[in-house]
Amino acid sequence: MATGRGIARAGWAVSLAATVGVVAWSVAASLPSRGSVHWETDFQAARARAKREGKPILIDFWAPWCGWCRKMDQEVYTDGEVAGLLRRMVAVKINSDDHPEIFRRLGGSGLPYTVFLDANGGRPQALQGYVEAREFRRLLAEQLESLSP
């Protein structure tokens, strides 16, 4: 038979365990994941940063209705190696519905559409459609080599 004191200890232990779990989850949720990418959303700011830091630019054109764009976000940009390579670039996400003039100027006609530029915003190279993480890593490495100063 449980005593009042035993029940109180058990309740206290459960409360403590729950509190520790919530705190641990909150801390873990606030930390960037291994595969997190810092995305710029302003094209002009991204170009200025790329020029200042001497880094090539990756532009990810997307739209809310694009299923393949979501798949890129969920399966490719979360890949740790992809994210690591993108840290050597200025990555910018541009909603093609909100900025059709930039999308068209850079040759876009379908989504997802990825454009690579050098640090000065020149030498555009584009990739149309979804690409799996392994192939995207290879393409990023090639682009970094060809576009870096």
If one counts the domains in the chain, the total is 2
Indicate if 63 and 6 belong to the same structural domain.
Answer: no
Question: Does residue 54 sit in the same domain as residue 109?
Answer: yes
Segments forming the whole domain that contains residue 27: 1-31
Which DSSP string corresponds to 77-132?
Answer: TTSHHHHHHHTTSEEEEEETTT-HHHHHHTT--SSSEEEEE-TTS-S-EEEES---
Examine the domain organization and report whether 104 and 51 are in the same domain: yes
* Most confident residue range from 26-35, 67-76, 118-127: 67-76
pTM higher than the cut 0.85:
no
Contacts of 121 (CB under 8 A, 6+ apart): 47, 50, 51, 57
Beta bridge partners of 60: 93, 114
* pLDDT per residue as tens digits for the range 2-46: 555 655 555 544 443 444 343 333 333 333 344 689 999 999 999
**Pair 5, 60 in one domain:** no
Give phi and psi for 113, each to the nearest 5: -135, 120
Q: What is the CATH number of the domain that holds 110?
A: 3.40.30.10
pLDDT tens across 86-110, in order?
Answer: 999 999 999 999 999 999 999 999 9
